[in-house]
Amino acid sequence: MRKPIIAGNWKLNKTPSQTVRLIEEFKPLVREARCEVVVCPTSACLFAAREALKDTNISLGAQNVFYEDSGAYTGEVACDSLLELGVKYVIIGHSERRQYFAETDETVNKKVLKTLEKRLKPIVCVGESLAQKQFGVTEEVVRMQTRLALSGVGVGDVEDITIAYEPIWAIGAGMTASSTEANDTIRQIRRVVAEIYTPEASQKLRIIYGGSMNARNAKELLSTSDIDGGLIGGASLKGDLFAQIVNAV
């Protein structure tokens, strides 16, 4: 059975001291969590977060990583540094990185391969834009993004991957996909994974939903057959609200 996972994507929010305060606020509230709990602060806050997360049931995640180990790549962060900082998960290919930082399916794939080589666990984001949804090509878009992201990944590594289905039109919009819509697309993504590998392998990888998930709609989304958790932006920035989502699992 796949263990559900709830990950907070804090985006470009919180300084190191604010990060520690937020962790202190919600860590007692999620002590009984029946899922994996992950927080992804900015790179500059990872060290502070690691200290605050010691002896808790909460894992640390990063929001990005580079696909080379070292060299002349000003501004980038390598897997080895993340590992030293106690990072376990890395969000890869978030739509904001694709939109503002020229992330492509090709760089997403390189990052997925590098994180798996380094034994970090990628959370790979896929999802359609509003225009693509209106053209009725959601399935084609997520199918292509998934195939490209997983290109060259061996079947043995599949269980270390989490895919986050995040319809771009729902991110930060206060508008979620309906639970049926999200569940259907997630089922399609799992079908693609089964085509690339085997049906058994596709049952091992977690596929979660992201896009305005909050304390009010989490229960419904999480009670569907195929949604294995959530990637939470805005609602993960308030300790009590984030804890309510975690405890909805």
Among 41, 61, 233, 239, binds ligand PGA (CB under 6 A): 233
Nearer to ligand PGA among residue 64 and residue 157 (C-beta): 64
228 contributes a contact to ligand PGA by CB under 6 A? no
Please state, in angstroms and rounded to a whole number, the distance separating the CA atoms of residues 5 and 160.
Answer: 12
Q: Say how far apart CA 128 and CA 95 lie, in whole Å.
A: 9
How many chain residues bind ligand PGA (CB under 6 A)? 13
Quick one: DSSP state of residue 229?
E
Q: At what angle do helices 16-26 and 239-246 cross, to 10 degrees?
A: 50
Of 161, 244, 166, 168, the C-alpha closest to 209 is 166
* 231's tokens: 């990637």
Cα 142 to Cα 149: distance, rounded to the nearest angstrom = 10
**Does 244 sit near ligand PGA (CB under 6 A)?**
no
Q: Is 232 in the site for ligand PGA (CB under 6 A)?
A: yes
Nearer to ligand PGA, 63 or 109 (CB): 63
Whole-angstrom distance, CA of residue 162 vs CA of residue 174:
24
* Contact between 239 and ligand PGA per CB under 6 A: no
Catalytic residue among 94, 96, 103, 128: 94
CB of 233 to ligand PGA, least distance (A): 2
229 near ligand PGA, judged by CB under 6 A: no
Kindly report the number of other CB atoms within 10 A of residue 219's CB atom. 14
Q: Considering the complex, what minimum distance in angstroms separates the CB of residue 84 from ligand PGA?
A: 25
Measured from the CB atom, the residue of 95 and 146 that comes closer to ligand PGA is: 95
Q: Alpha-carbon distance 182 to 232, whole Å? A: 15
Rg (CA), the chain: 17
Residue 171 or 189 having the CB closest to ligand PGA: 171
Catalytic residue, chosen from 36, 96, 103, 166, is 166
Residues 6 or more apart whose Cβ sits within 8 Å of residue 238: none
Q: How far is the CB of 20 from ligand PGA (least distance, A)?
A: 22
Closest CA to 249 of 226, 218, 225, 210: 218
Q: Which stretch binds ligand PGA (CB under 6 A): 31-39, 46-54, 185-193, 206-214?
A: 206-214
**51 noted as active-site residue:** no
Task: Round to whole Å and give the CA distance between 224 and 150.
Answer: 25
Residue 127 touching ligand PGA (CB under 6 A):
no
- In the residue annotation, 94 being an active-site residue is answered as yes
- Say whether residue 93 binds ligand PGA (CB under 6 A): no
Q: Name the residues annotated as catalytic.
A: 94, 166
Binding site for ligand PGA (CB under 6 A): 9, 166, 171-172, 210-213, 231-235
